Structures are given as C-alpha cells and as structure tokens.
Structure 1
Amino acid sequence: MSFRKKSFFNLLQSGLFIATLIFGTKLVFAQSDVLIDLSMETQPEVRIAVPEFEQLKGSSDSSGLGREGREILENDLKLFELFQPVRHSAYSSQASRERGTGKVDYSEWNGLGVQWLIKTQYQVASSGSNVFIFRLYDVVNERFIVGKRYRGKRQWVRRMMHRFADEVMAQLTGKRGVAETQIAFLAQQGKSGKEMYVVDFDGYNLKKVTREQSVMLAPDWSPDGKAIVFTSYRDHNPDLVMVDRSGKKRKVLLQLPGLNSAPAWSPDGEKIALVLSKDQNSEIYLLDKFANLKRLTKHFNIDTSPAWSPDGRKIAFASDRSGTGAPQIFIMDARSGDSGGVKRISFSASYNDNPAWSPTGDKIAYTALVNRKFQVKIYDLEKNQTYDLTTGGGNKEAPAWSPDGQFVAYRVEKGGNSTIHIKRVGSKKSRSLTFPPLTALSPTWSPYSR
C-alpha cells in the first residue's frame, strides 16, 4: 500500500528579488534587523502604509484588479495582528507626489506616522499573465527591505497577495506568515451528512471538497499538504480514508471492524497514528506506508486523540487511565509507546481532550471542561504552566495550530450555531472563519505550501 506516489506522505535584478508565480516560486528572504520577538504575548503593531497600486505603462485595468489586490494585501496584514494599516487619507497626497518617480521621501512618510511602506506596480496583460512588483521599505531606518515580482493569471491574484503578505511577515518576525495557508474542517448543512470544506486564512474561497454524505470525523492534513485523512462511515463502518487536497483520489487506507479513527500524520509523513478498537478497547496504533500496524498503548482504559511532537519523538494523547473517571492529557514516547512510561500534563480541569502539539514544539493546546463549558487551554512545556486561550460563554474545543505556531483554530458552539474561529496566541480577540447555516467543526490547518 502506498499513501502517495513518490513518498509517504522542492535573481537579483536592479535591487529587486524576482519570484515568478506559475506556481513553483522560490521565496528569497532578505536579511532584516527589524525583527520582533514572537514569544512575547503582546506586540506593538507596526504602522504600515499600502498606497494605491501603480499601473505600468501599456496596462489597462478595467476590472479593478489593482484595487482588489490592494484590499486583499492590506486585509492580510491586518489579520496578522502585528500591523496597523494607516488610513489612506493620511498619506494619499504624499503617495500621489511620488507616483511614477521611483523615489521615497522617508522624512515625509515618517512625519505622517508611517513606519513601513509597501509600493506596488502592476501590469494587466492581454495574454492574461498579470505582473505585480512589490517593494517594501523601512521608513524609520530609511532603507529598502525587500522586493518581489510575481506573475500569474487572474485566478492567482489573491494567492499572489497572500504570498507577499507572508513575505512582509517574514521580514518583521523571521517567520513566514500564514496568509497563503488554508483550514480544512467538517460541516453539515441541513439534514445531509457531513462533508469536508476548505477555506483560506482570510475566510475567502470556501469550497466543499468531499461527497461523503455520511458521518465524518477528525480530518488531519498531511505534512506535505497534498492529502487529508479522516474517518468516514460512508460504507457503514468508521473507515480510515484519504483524499487529495481537492477532495479527489479517494482511497480507503484501513477498514478494520470497529473504529479506525483520530488519525494524526507523523511530521515526516511516513506514519499515521490512529485509534483502533479491534481489541475491544480504544488503543493507539501506528500505521506505516506498507499497511503495517504497531500498537503503542496497552491499557484497559480508553486511549485516543494522538498528536505528534514536531520532532516526531513523542505523542500526546487523551486517556481516562488516571482514575479520575474522565480523560486527561498524557505524553508517551513515539517508539516504545506507554510501555516506556507516560507523563500527565493536565491538572487544571476535570475533563481534558483533543491535544494539539504546536509546530514550535513548546506548547500543547487541548480542550478542557471549565465550569461546565469547554474551553481551549495551552500547556507550556518549558515553563510547566497552563493558561487559557479561550474564556467566556459557549463551548470552544478541538484546537488546531497554524504552521507558524502563532494562531489556533477551534470550534465555537454557541446559541445553537457551530463555527470555526481563529485566535492569535496572546490576543484578546478572535474572529469567525465560518458562518451559519454551516454547522462547522473539527478544523485542521494546512502546512506551508511548497
């Protein structure tokens, strides 16, 4: 058995870094001394200006492509919560004076309260191959930071804006942003069965990608971003199923009697941890690319919800083996399983489930029952401390980390509605990614595109 074909589960010109969007773009990150510490819970927002895009000679933009691109880029930067876009009216006169000159009057921009500046030129070609040239400037330190050139058809414009927003984030933090990523989740509309949907980080491009028309559980995105595994009852048994990121190439990976559920890809994409009940009890197993199974837990209590550490050496899981009569979060070795001992990390609530290990390796998010409501908590492995990601009314559960480890997606159930929200770690606000009438749950965040 093979999960995917090849493996289980790759110029500087006139001061401008060139990246052609076809899509096989190589991102070239310039060195920047304007870096912020992402480990701090609160950050001052960088005041950034994104003037109106400037058309190159010979270009005609009757469809408003430049305006649309600017709105997408500015919105991405705002959603990162580390940038504060400056009001257009505050700098429109200065932008008009510099249009077509290729110059930046750092003193004037600084006087307007602008710290970073993005200038964009673009060309709408009759051939359909549009070009966008971005230049990022540090106004305070009076220097050019980085430039990018992207080329692509009309349908790729949104992705081009996402990609440059991620580059701006990389220049500020040293880590690529997540505007180009997607979140997959399960949803039900009306009385039909659940289906899987995908949506961009900014909430656009919502698409239904499966036709299961059945009960579905626990999707998980592969490390290379090419496949998603989940549990489906379509064939009257909770089978382990894999599809590509567009919902096609459906393949049943495991169809044992009983549960084949809670799949979690190993970081190298070579194995899937999952829960099987073929032994008359829920136990955690490893499934390799040759369909071999290795049992990791051997306990008479229920073990479920495996989550890998980013180095692939450990697995967090939920189990009621503690004797409290409710699940708690434990960590075990990924090779020896619970025979090598387990470590309990959840003590602040009576019921804890759905662990999710951060890509940075230092935190585990999980669902906890607090005052009869589910909330998302985060355990700091370095400080051995637990703190709240969510509070307030309604149930919040099933956390999923963004690939940069800065955001968490989770389900919110409130007022009869079930939606997916996103929250930046350390932030006081969240935003809804989905809206009724979709009943959304079980988010999984895509890795970075390659």
Structure 2
Amino acid sequence: MTIGLRAGLLAPLAVTACLVSQHAEAARLCALRDGPSGPCTCKVEGGGPGEFTTVNKSVCTKAARAKDANAAPAAAAAGQTQPAADAPATMDAAPAPPVVRTITTGATSPPTQASPAPTALPAPSEGRLQVVRERGKILCGVNTGLLGFSALAQTGEWLGLDADFCRAVAAAVFEDAKKVEFVPVETNERFEALQSGKIDLLARNTTWTMARDVDMGLEFAGVLYFDGQGFMTSDDRGLVSAQQLAGLKICVEAGTTTEQNMAYYFKAHGLEVETQTYPDRKEMLDAYASGKCDAYSGDRSALFSDRASFAEPAKHAVLPEVISKEPLGPVVAGGDRTWSEIVRWTLAGLINAEEVGLDRETAAGSGEMQGDARRLVDGAAASAEKLGLPKPWLRNVIAATGNYSEIFDANLGKQSPLGMDRGINALWKRGGIQFAPPMW
C-alpha cells in the first residue's frame, strides 16, 4: 500500500535503514511512525516527493537499530568519531555551505527550568506607523543566528527568509527596503522586546498559538513558513526513528513550545528519556556538540539549518518523525490595527504575487503590467490610503525583495545552502498549503 506524505515535513531526510525485500536492495528511509508496534514506513525508491510505502515491521533491518547508548556519544558530531562501518549512507543531505556559525566545545550553564510566559503589556499609546516613520526605520527582531532565516553574513548583511520579510515591510512603508535595523533577540526575550517597544516587528521563526494570540495579546500576521518539530542526532548512532531515543539524553531550549511538545510526545509514547534544558540556543548546540546530550529537538527547518552550518553535515541525522505543527509567522503587539494590517497584507502580497506571476524583474520594470498581476497591484493600491501607504506599495515590495517563491528559493530552496524542498510551503494549487486571502 502506498501513502502520500507531504514532502515539506518529511523530505529531504538524512537517515536510511529499511530493506523492503530479502534482496540486497539499496537502503531506504524508514521509521516506525505509528509507534513501536509498526508497521515500518519506507521511502519509495524512484517515487515522488513525500511518497512512502508501509511494510511489515519484520522487514526493518536490525543493523541500523540503536547501538549501546554509551558507545557513540554525540561528540561524533564534532568530528571525533568515524561512522560505524555498517551505518547506512545518508540520502538527500543538504550540501555543506561556508560555515556561518562555529560550534565550540565548552562548559554550559546548569539546566534551567522553563521560564513563565511574559505577561501582556499595554500597546504603545502612539500609532506604531507614526513612530516608525519619525524614527526613519523599522526595528525588526530576528533570530540571533539561524541559517536560512536570519543570519549575519561576513559582509555584515542579515540574510534569510525572516530578514527578507523585514525588508519587504520596510519597502511597503518607506519605499526603501534598506530602512530596517535588525535586532537579534533570544527566545526568552522576544515577546517582551516586542511589547515593550524595543522592536516594531518580530520576524523570528515564532510559532502562532492560541495562548500567544489571546492570552499575551499578540497579533500574528499569518504564516510565513509551515514547519514541524523533530529531532537531530549523530548519524553514527544509526537511529531510524524517534522511538529509539528511550534512555538517551535529549537537549531542548527552555521556555519554548518545543520543550512542551517534546515532553508530551515522550509521555504519550511511554518513552523514558533524560531531558536537559538550556536557556538559549547556542548553549544547547554547544551541549550537543560536546556530547552532553545524545540528541536535541527543534523545528525541522532549524535542524536542517543547524546541520548545514556544521563542519561535517553528513555526520548528523534528522529523524523522520514530525511531532507537532509549527506555523511560523511575523508578530506585532496587539492594539494597533493599522500596523498589524500593514504587516499582514505585506505577507499576503508576497504570496499572492507568486500566484499571479508577479516577480521582481517585472515589478521593477517600467512597463505596464497585465492580467492578474495588474489586478493584484491595483487591488492593493485601493486600500493603500487607509493603511497610510503609497499607492504602488505592493509593487515597491516585490521590486525590492521578489515574491514569496523568489525569497524562499534564495534562502531555503534547492540552490541555497539548505537545499530544502518547498513541500507543504508550496502554493495551494501546486500541492502545498501556502495560501493568502485575495487582495481585490
């Protein structure tokens, strides 16, 4: 029986270990996705993206099962241990890019307890758009360093999907994508920074949840990237499923939905693990690199980003399980409708522009647009005055940054260091679920 699973959350994956016959076929990606009782789910050789087949549990090869937990510490991730001779080769591994972040071995702070969620602060009394215009730039909160989303290049330029979204909002407001200042914020300080006015916009791979939207009074503009949570471990362990993490030390960033989802997953599956929490991402990655934990959990996009930035990406494996849904999107403080609508419709404009074929070259040209592209730009212009934006604001945005597809491809796609498929982030009419409300 063949089942189709969305490619964006399941491919590319870098572990292999299932033989679907008694013959010496090439090993294929597998996992016990329905728990230890099986069946084994294997990648279809020559199949399309996300195409898998289920087979009897007994055909799962034993060779790639977890070895002695003490035999292959995660220090192998730092290049200290060679993969076992019988470990299967990886598939769909992202190409190794220039190293953006260096993982160092060193002491980490003691594990911390999850921080309580910050209480909602009152929205600024003055309109955010006015504040931004008087300042002359947008203060955009981004990740301190996540390849593909927001990372500081050696040139001093911030690169990534989130960084480009910040530029898109600046192009809408100022007709100049350069009028943005990037403010790196840690996970545990991002919401306070937003609601205190330290930043105007948070574009930092943040999951949209009901508690954040309602209880904390935040305003999510939509979904910039559909993600899901997974696990990273040393490829030398030969693990093919998160079901095999029992008895191991798992690192996670404290005070995040990642920590909560992981705890729920292990409890639901009856798996006993030793959880170690760290106050920020760097300390967690340092702990993983130094062997203080055997695996760690995070959004799959972040796991692929981490792996691409490691000195030896092939020595790390992202396990197949996707244990949560993580709609990541830009956020503003609640209470300022005009500002939230500007951010929301900038995101919708990027997605709609891809749908109608309005790309950067066309938008930047001097010629008249035709068909749906013109209809989109004219529709956006009709509401420009109420948002306090210039009439050609959407054309300015696309001319500065390109549409959603162009931004995705440059930062996350096959030609980028991460080499990721669009998967479920493809447009709704191209097999994905990326969708934006109409603008005419």
From the two aligned structures, give the one with the greater strand fraction.
1
Which has the bigger relative contact order, CA under 8 A and spacing at least 6? 2
TM range (shorter): under 0.3
| Bigger CA radius of gyration | 1
From the two aligned structures, give the one with the greater helix fraction.
2
Q: TM-score, normalised by structure 1?
A: 0.27
